[in-house]
Structure 1
Amino acid sequence: MACDGACAELRLLHSPWLPVYIGGFRFLSKSWFGSSEYHVLLTDMKCVWEERMGTAHIQERAQELNRRLRAPVSAFFSHLRQVAEPCLTGSSELRLLHPEAQMSLRRQEGGNIHLKLKSELGGLPFHWEFHCSPAPVTVVRSTAAPAPVTVACAQLLRPLFSISVVLQRQVEQLGSLLVQKDKEIQDYRENGATLSRERLQTDVFQEQLYKDDFMAKVVCVFIFIGVFIFISIFIFVGVFIFVVCVFIFIGVFIFISIFIFVGVFIFASVVWLHPSAAVGHWAQPPAPGPAQCGIPQRHHGSLEQRQSSDTKPMQSSGCR
């Protein structure tokens, strides 16, 4: 069993990550199906989920989901593989073989996800569920390194780094091959060989010049991406500030409108409750003064003058 587990892990490691669309969500998936066991990995680049199932657990889950099923694992596992692999690889050609198979996704508490698979086996409905849980830190032990490593490191980062190293070596080998080809062509020319078609003539390959040109293009791409991100952030911040200013202006306008409305309402209420007082205060003419009624003003003179003024009859001027 240890050898089988190591071989299964090695095959899963060499399997590519494939984009799949399950239940309205996009994932990268890789899976391995043996004779009576499987190993499934899913990731959305934020978390990695996995499930490993052996023969005994597959038999137990099959009995729970399909009460009428009494067949051993070897009898229905091939059907499970045929209907599950198209959903887990995104292959439209394999889906045509079992168009009735449907897979849905349901998220559980604790970060788990369940993949529900519905199909038909021998004319009867066949149900299966993949219970994928977040991969723990020490779940995978690489065959190259005895220390436990994470699934993301073993199945995502390490293959990417390995491919990057391989591609770099291929570029160096191709550069060396082009230099040798240029030397071979130069030897042909020195011995009198000529091209029958001038359009096939090429310049001598200069490795350093090629690297500099490539790096310049890469730097230009990164600069363009940086400028684009900066402009996008600047526009977003400008739009956000503009929206905030508009909301502040609307709020101030509403506050002033409410204040004016309340003032007008209070004044109207006072006029409605005390109309006579308000009308009398604004419409009643001022009372006539003593001078208008012909009442002489008192002077601070001698006693005789005040007595003589008091004895004079009051002029009739309409005042009583």
Structure 2
Amino acid sequence: MKKTKNNKGNIINGIIIAITVIILLCYMFFVDGIDNIIAVFQNAKLLWLVAGALCMVLYWAIEAAIVHCATKCFPQKLPYRQVFQTTMIGQFFNCVTPSATGGQPMQIYHMNKIGFGAGYATSSLLVRFIVYQLGLTVYSIVVLCFQYKEFASQIKGFKYLIIFGFILNTAVAIGLLLIGFTKNFAKKAMHGICRLLAKLHLLKNLEKKLEIVDREVDSFHDGFRIIRKNITRLCIMFIMTILQLSFFFFVPVTIAFSFGVPSIPIFTMMAAASCVQMASSFIPLPGAAGGAELSFFMLFGMFFPAAKLSSAVLVWRLFTFYFPILCGMFFSRNLFGKRKEILASTSQSIQD
């Protein structure tokens, strides 16, 4: 029986990797073009491209450190190396699923597979997501205070792009905070959404779905109650998020240096990168395909010469889309296999 389960897991792993490779190859051939990719690397300064890749690695390392910080609130302890693997699995599935919806479920699956309670995993990741959304919102507010007039004067439609992204990100952060602080209100709101979807015939088995909603809200609320007691830990996570985002937003700066763009305004370029992230966060396509490139074109047309802008978009996508998929695929290769508990404690209950 164990061999059969393990074989099924290996088959699923193989199918996922094969599909991902096919998607990547199709994307590279038909969207970006292999010739274009080769030409870009021939004409760019390699040292700055390495710096861009290093920024992404640091972004992942800090992400893992933030999740690791959240998990320390619970009785079970998870080694950093396992949290880093969880992070890379999340990066992989975020890139290959619409609106990055597949990352967290796969991370919870992996953490539970190695013996970390599903309730603890859900709470840790959702609290981390709240901190990320707050960090991105605060980062964007600061950016807009300093750069809004300049961007709005040079970019047609910037106001609508940013307002949409800002409202959406802020709404998500507020919604998650309401779940954490007001359990009954969150349940009523989720019940209302479920009933509306059921009336529209978009949701089946309403009563069963409501039970699942109640269970998940209870689990998250209880876990959040534990974490929110440690204000110092939450502040550390927030500061680490700001640092993490700064590394991510510095990637376009390294691309500009690699292309020899003159007079690079570092802060302004990082501000533009934060606007791109905010505007494209919830585009319902894998990797925010199309929307991310369009946002980059709109904002970074201010910095890159027209002849180099398309190449800049391509390299940026290589760093923020292809690179996470390739690295995440390596860490996800044995995701669906036999359960391997590495923790001594396997208690699943959430305690005060």
**What TM-score do the two structures reach when normalised by structure 2?**
0.21
With a CA cutoff of 8 Å and minimum separation of 6, indicate the structure with the bigger relative contact order: 2
Which structure has the highest strand share of the two? 1
Which structure has the highest helix share of the two? 2
**What TM-score do the two structures reach when normalised by structure 1?**
0.22
Larger Rg: 1
